[in-house]
């Protein structure tokens, strides 16, 4: 397994975990379920921690892709755009780690203001879900031209079915 492959394997965990954790946290807040909130915060914590090695393998993945024979100026631009979005995403990841830990601690200590920290965590994770989608999509566009905004099906491809 090369570095690009490792990056592609890892990158799904933070995004999917973030979405699942956010949905569980939303349900926990709506239904006032401490157990659901603790599960959600744990999922968010692990998902955010997984983003660290995912981000770390990105640079090595870039090196692999830049040496491929299929490397074009457009691919180079897409890699740069993906890297910029990932760098923008990382402060949200660090904030999710800190808020999840704080929320878990205050839920464990049964502090009355724990619900407000959970709500703050939810707001942050909703924003982070959008950014994660942007990061993931921009990464997918590098190897999957069919998901790019400017993709057009050629006449030849339309009739291959």
CA distances from 142 to 48, 114, 153 (A): 23, 41, 17
Are the beta carbons of 104 and 38 closer than 8 angstroms? yes
Structure tokens at 60: 């090595």
Q: Is residue 52 part of a domain?
A: yes
Structure tokens at 129: 């879900």
Q: Is residue 159 part of a domain?
A: no
Residue 90: the pLDDT is 98
Nearest to 46 by CA among 104, 88, 7: 104
| Domain enclosing residue 76, as ranges | 3-149
Q: Is residue 112 part of a domain?
A: yes
Number of domains into which the chain is organized: 1
Residue 72: the pLDDT is 87
Q: Is residue 154 part of a domain?
A: no
Taking only the tens of pLDDT, the chain with its 161 residues reads 888 899 999 999 999 999 999 999 999 999 999 999 999 999 999 999 999 999 999 999 998 888 887 788 988 999 999 999 999 999 999 999 999 999 999 999 999 899 999 999 999 999 999 999 999 999 999 888 788 888 788 766 555 55
Q: Burial of 64 by CB count in 10 Å (0-12 exposed, 13-18 middle, 19+ buried)?
A: middle
Q: Is residue 161 part of a domain?
A: no
Residue 69: the pLDDT is 76
Instruction: Report how far residue 14's alpha carbon sits from residue 50's, in angstroms, rounded to the nearest whole number.
Output: 6
């Amino acid at each position: 397994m090369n570095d690009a492959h490792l990056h592609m394997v890892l990158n799904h965990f933070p995004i999917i975990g973030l979405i699942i954790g956010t949905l569980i946290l939303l349900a926990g807040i709506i239904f006032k379920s401490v157990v659901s909130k603790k599960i959600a915060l744990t999922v968010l914590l692990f998902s955010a921690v997984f983003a660290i090695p995912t981000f770390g393998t990105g640079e090595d993945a870039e090196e692999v892709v830049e040496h491929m024979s299929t490397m074009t100026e457009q691919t180079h631009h897409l890699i740069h755009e993906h890297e910029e979005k990932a760098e923008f995403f990382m402060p949200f990841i660090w904030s999710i780690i800190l808020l999840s830990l704080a929320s878990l601690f205050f839920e464990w200590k049964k502090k009355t203001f724990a619900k407000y920290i959970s709500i703050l965590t939810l707001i942050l994770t909703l924003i982070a879900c959008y950014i994660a989608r942007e990061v993931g999509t921009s990464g997918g566009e590098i190897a999957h031209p069919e998901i790019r905004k400017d993709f057009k099906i050629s006449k030849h491809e339309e009739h291959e079915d």
